[in-house]
């Protein structure tokens, strides 16, 4: 079992930056691929970024490519999402997720564990 706790969300002006963190419990974190997703009320949860188990391969949604960076520190059991040049349309609840496979995935259904989310609000 893996427990995930996100932090780092908040209110930021358009053009600003935030770094989200996701702390994972359990010694198996290193064997899991990880991902970030986001959700706006009334809409489906959308894929944002994903990373393989060792951090050597990543994949991003087109809407965040070039602005967001996903990374992980396996020694600290922590996943990160650096978000730069934020836009109002990035406003959402951001979730981290863990997948019991070493390769990444952009499909939410392929993840086994989810955090409770952290709110990111970008105002113009």
Calpha distance 50→88 (Å, rounded):
22
Q: What is the pLDDT of residue 27?
A: 73
Q: What is the pLDDT of residue 77?
A: 95
Q: What is the pLDDT of residue 26?
A: 78
φ/ψ bin of 13: left (φ > 0), alpha (ψ from -120 to 50), beta (otherwise): beta
- Phi, psi (deg, nearest 5) at residue 59: -150, 140
Nearest to 118 by CA among 87, 96, 100, 103: 96
Q: Along the 124 residues of the chain, how does pLDDT read in single tens digits?
A: 899 999 999 999 999 999 999 999 977 888 999 999 999 999 999 999 999 999 999 999 999 999 999 999 999 999 999 999 999 999 999 999 999 999 999 999 999 999 999 999 999 9
Q: Residues, the chain, total?
A: 124
φ/ψ bin of 31: left (φ > 0), alpha (ψ from -120 to 50), beta (otherwise): alpha
Show the CA angle centred on residue 56, arms to residues 36 and 33, nearest 5°.
Answer: 40
Q: What is the pLDDT of residue 75?
A: 93
């Amino acid at each position: 079992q893996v427990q995930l706790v996100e932090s780092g969300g908040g209110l930021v002006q358009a053009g600003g930056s935030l770094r989200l963190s996701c702390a994972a419990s359990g010694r198996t974190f290193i064997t899991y691929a990880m991902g970030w997703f986001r959700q706006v009320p009334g809409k489906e949860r959308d894929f944002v970024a994903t990373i393989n188990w060792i951090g050597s391969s990543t994949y991003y949604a087109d809407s965040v490519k070039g602005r967001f960076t996903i990374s992980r520190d396996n020694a600290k059991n922590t996943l990160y999402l650096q978000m730069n040049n934020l836009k109002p349309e990035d406003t959402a609840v951001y979730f981290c997720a863990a997948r019991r496979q070493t390769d990444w995935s952009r499909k939410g259904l392929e993840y086994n564990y989810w955090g409770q989310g952290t709110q990111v609000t970008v105002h113009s």
